[in-house]
Amino acid sequence: MILDYTRCKHASIAELEENSLLVRVAVEDTFYAAEVEMVVGLPALEVTSIKGKVKRAFSDKCQQAVPLLNEVVGMRVGSGIIKAVNDLVGGPSGCPRLADLILEGFNDVILRYTMPPLREIVPLAGQAQLEAYQVYLRKSPRLVGSCIAFAEGSPYREGLEV
């Protein structure tokens, strides 16, 4: 038996002129192909529109779940989104794969605002870098414990009340 399986996932984020982000996520593998495109308003980070399609799947279930994408409109990229998206789009009458694409898109939005300040800190050295990380963590507490650098015992967390 020869097994042949390929999978390609693509995510992109672009800033639109009207103070919003265009987020596109697409996945294509041997059995399944789908894409989701949504607009996230700034600075509220609320989804203002969404569309998507399922090009290929084992069953009709995901195709039928496409209208559920509209449930995401009004949702804010922030705490609680994983449960909300999985409940509303990926639930028993929905499509978990479409829910995954939406969450991937939300993750892109978060990364869009995570990377730039980190890029400014990385070139610093010694005490200056340590202090810059401490300030960054204080202002972005969601990152505490998110990776080994920000884990308990890390010098970056010194003086930080969690």
Site for another protein, rule CB under 8 A:
42-46, 71-72, 74-76, 78-80, 83-84, 87-88, 91, 110, 113-114, 116-117, 135-136, 138-142
Question: What Cα–Cα distance (Å) separates residue 156 from each residue in 25, 89, 111, 125, 162?
Answer: 33, 38, 20, 13, 13
Minimum distance of another protein from residue 126's CB (angstroms)? 20
C-beta atoms surrounding 150 within 10 Å: 18
Q: How far is the CB of 72 from another protein (least distance, A)?
A: 7
- Of 54 and 75, nearer to another protein (C-beta) is 75
Scanning the structure block, which residue is given the tokens 């890029």?
119
Nearer to another protein, 48 or 63 (CB): 48
Shortest distance, CB of residue 69 to another protein, whole angstroms? 12
In this structure, which amino acid lies at residue 75?
A: M
Minimum CB–partner distance for residue 89 and another protein (Å): 10
Q: Which is nearer to another protein, 122 or 135 (CB)?
A: 135
Least distance in Å: CB of 20 to another protein? 12
Phi, psi (5° rounding) for residue 28? -145, 120
CB nearer another protein, residue 87 or residue 158 = 87
Q: Are 97 and 32 in contact (CB under 8 A)?
A: yes
Cβ neighbour number for residue 20 with a 10 Å cutoff: 20
Cβ–Cβ < 8 Å for 138, 160: yes
Q: Which is nearer to another protein, 29 or 87 (CB)?
A: 87
